[in-house]
Amino acid sequence: MLSKIDNCESFGSIEIIAKLIRNCKREKIRISDILEFFRGESYSEVFYTEDILKLLIFLDIIRINKDFITITKIGEKLSCDTEEEFKDNFKVLLASKIFDNNFIDDFLSIENISYDVHGDRYLIKSSKILMKYFALRNLLIKLRILERIKDTSLIIVNQPILKLLKERNKKNPQTISLGKFKESLLMKEKYGHEAEEIVLKYEKDRLRNHPNAKKIKIISELDVCAGYDIISYESSTSENRIFIEVKSHSGNPSFYWSSNELDLAKAKGESYYIYLVNRDFINGKNYKPEIITNPYKNIYYSTKLWSKEVANWYFFKN
């Protein structure tokens, strides 16, 4: 159960975890002899022995039976020959276990992750991680799955967490609020991913010769509060970033525009774009989405070309 690894103080060092697993592979170890096993290690490693064992049981690496620690099949397969090899394998096992248990929603909610345009990275504030998971947070930092930014409260979310988050989002779109700021959630779930992939391909083809073409990406998969879907560039010879909001529609162009997206469009001006993807024609040869630059000016204030109506009201008590 997840509760087995919350409210722990420390899971020790990667080196001590590997050492314990190596010894368990060679022989059965009594719980009563565990302090002897750690003799010569730092005091803190001995003090947190119980937490380390909880982690290994949670990961199904060891089991405890009648005062004996025994290695499982998963533990047997976990190579400890070199420190780097062990770290790589342990990273994958730990990240996978977190997702298998739907642990991520409580420990590292996707709604708290934001995309940093300038650093091309995903960030989360340390305060957004519950205190009961600080031991796990610190272990993930040691493994560089998470990475502290010096002199800030920000943490970089690295691989393999990002990869698993994206995979989980595609398999279970309703388990997280990807379209948190979208007025039409059902439309977003049904057509949004398809439209974003079409625009992403269009941008990569358009900017195939750009030196930073690999940085063109869909960011809304993880940053649900960004106010746009895709980060790209103005042209093949420009370093100016553009922020693309993708809207899927059928028939006459129409879409919902959230207050969050509208505010960002106003702030970014000429750097903000709306790409309208008409589902009726996406299978046509050389399909190209309709591109609108500075939509705050050219849509919101363009009363001759566009009409708007209030679809929802937000009420709050004075």
pLDDT at 35 over 80: no
User: Rounded to two decimals, what is the model's pTM?
Assistant: 0.68
The CATH class for the domain spanning 2-98 reads mainly alpha
Instruction: Please report, rounded to a whole number, the percentage of residues in the chain having pLDDT higher than 70.
Output: 83
Please report, in angstroms and rounded to a whole number, the separation of the first and last CA atoms in the chain: 43
Category of 29 on φ-ψ map: left (φ > 0), alpha (ψ -120 to 50) or beta = beta
Q: CA 240, CA 170: separation in Å to the nearest integer?
A: 30
| 21 in Cβ contact with 55 (< 8 Å) | no
> What tens digit of pLDDT does each residue of 266-302 get?
999 999 999 999 999 998 888 999 999 999 999 999 8
pLDDT at 176 over 50: no
Q: Which pLDDT value is given to residue 77?
A: 86
Q: Which pLDDT value is given to residue 70?
A: 87
> What tens digit of pLDDT does each residue of 100-143 get?
656 677 787 777 888 888 888 889 888 888 888 899 999 999 88
What residue segments make up the domains of the chain, in order of their start?
2-98, 104-171, 177-300
Average pLDDT, the chain: 83
Residues 6 or more apart from 224 whose CB is under 8 A from it?
110, 111, 176, 177, 178, 179, 180, 181
Category of 204 on φ-ψ map: left (φ > 0), alpha (ψ -120 to 50) or beta = alpha
Q: What b-and-e string marks burial along 87-103, b requiring 16 or more CB atoms within 10 Å of the CB?
A: beebbebbbebbbeeeb
Q: CA 50, CA 31: separation in Å to the nearest integer?
A: 10
> What tens digit of pLDDT does each residue of 238-260 get?
999 999 999 998 888 988 888 88
| 114 in Cβ contact with 122 (< 8 Å) | yes
Selected residue with higher pLDDT from 264 and 65: 264
Secondary structure of the chain: what % helix, strand, coil (to 5)?
45, 15, 40
- pLDDT confidence of 180, banded at 50, 70, 90? very low
Task: Write the CA distances from 77 to 62, 72, 98, 197, integer angstroms.
Answer: 12, 9, 19, 38
Q: CA 246, CA 206: separation in Å to the nearest integer?
A: 16
| 275 in Cβ contact with 199 (< 8 Å) | yes
